[in-house]
Amino acid sequence: MNKFIILALLFASGTAHAALSVFACEPEWASLTQLLAGDKVSLYTATGALQDPHRVEARPSLIAKARRANLLVCTGAELETGWLPVILRESANAAIQPGGTGNFEAAKYVQMLEVPTHLDRGDGDVHAMGNPHIQTDARNFIPVADALSKRLIQIDPANTLYYQQRLTSFNLLWRTAINRWEKQAAPLKGMPVVVQHRGFPYMNNWLGLKQVAELEPKPGMEPSAAHLGQVLTEMQPYPVKMVLRAAYQDGRPSEWIAQRAHLNAVALPYTVGGTSQAVDLFTLFDDTIAKLLAGSK
């Protein structure tokens, strides 16, 4: 099948005959669900691309959407632990509670990185199951898509063939895109980088970037001027060219370092909608690779 036809089928949407109501915690999972389920679902995304997914207000509107959902699609790994439990409890929706058929956590289907050997509140915002920012490695979407498609079939068996066909089309396009991204990103392999937040281990592992420092003294803690000065010293032995942050983060710490160390401050989209170019999963990684290459020069 022509790849443009496949794309047209994948991105075709409409909710006039939607069978399932889906509550997606983050934009990347809403986008993936749309690709896999098309017009068989009605989607609601709980957070925006310029919003910290750790810190969300459990608003009545979110509770109302969760109350009507057939399927909840979230990252898991404690990313949403500050707000999602309240929404689940108040929704009184048995179908989407933890352990239920309608509760889907993407992190359960990938190899987690940075799993702590011990937990201490003094270590900052550390997650017991590992770093939850799995969406920065394009390869992680392959096992997640497979598991999510199976869950859609379990909930909506009448459309089994439809979901299977869309998964096959997605895998074909996605694997081709991964090969393209990896070739484009080849010059980045081994390049030392500084990050504002510990949000890129999966991307670094995928593309071979070498993280040599991070601006936050502890995960989730804003850096002081004194700490940023220490980071400047730590960076000196390395030929660092860029400091990375997610689009939703305050850019001032990155700009402070960039100006004094003569680096490029690079804001990556991080999720769908993080930049004007990242309008879906495919363009999310197109724009991520493009910004990394531009920042490395």
Q: Tens of pLDDT along 178-234?
A: 999 999 999 999 999 999 998 999 999 999 999 999 999 888 788 899 999 999 999
pLDDT digits (tens, 9 = 90+) for 97-107: 999 999 999 99
Mark whether 27 and 139 lie in a shared domain: yes
Beta carbons of 64 and 111 less than 8 angstroms apart? no
CA distances from 60 to 29, 63, 71, 150, 169 (A): 22, 5, 18, 31, 37
Per the structure, the complete domain to which residue 267 belongs is given by 185-295
Mark whether 20 and 133 lie in a shared domain: yes
pLDDT digits (tens, 9 = 90+) for 252-284: 999 999 999 999 999 999 999 999 999 999 999
Can you tell me the mean pLDDT for 285-296?
A: 98
Question: Would you state the pLDDT for residue 18?
Answer: 55
Q: Spell 25-53 as b/e; 16+ CB within 10 A means b.
A: bbbbbbbbbbbbbbebbbbbbbbebebeb
Mean pLDDT of the chain: 92
Residue 214 forms beta bridges with which residues? 195
Mark whether 54 and 171 lie in a shared domain: yes
If pLDDT is split at 50, 70 and 90, which confidence band does 129 have? confident
- Which among 180, 201, 220 is the end of a domain? 180
Mark whether 150 and 272 lie in a shared domain: no
Mark whether 209 and 72 lie in a shared domain: no
Mark whether 163 and 191 lie in a shared domain: no
Q: Exposed, middle or buried, 259 (CB in 10 Å: 0-12/13-18/19+)?
A: exposed
First to last CA, the chain: 38
- Which among 127, 151, 180 is the end of a domain? 180
Question: Would you state the pLDDT for residue 127?
Answer: 65
Which CATH number does the domain housing residue 279 bear? 3.40.50.1980
Mark whether 165 and 191 lie in a shared domain: no
Question: Would you state the pLDDT for residue 11?
Answer: 55
Distance CA 266, CA 29 (A): 24
Beta carbons of 197 and 245 less than 8 angstroms apart? yes
Distance CA 74, CA 92 (A): 18
Count how many domains the chain has.
2
pLDDT at 4 > cutoff 90 = no
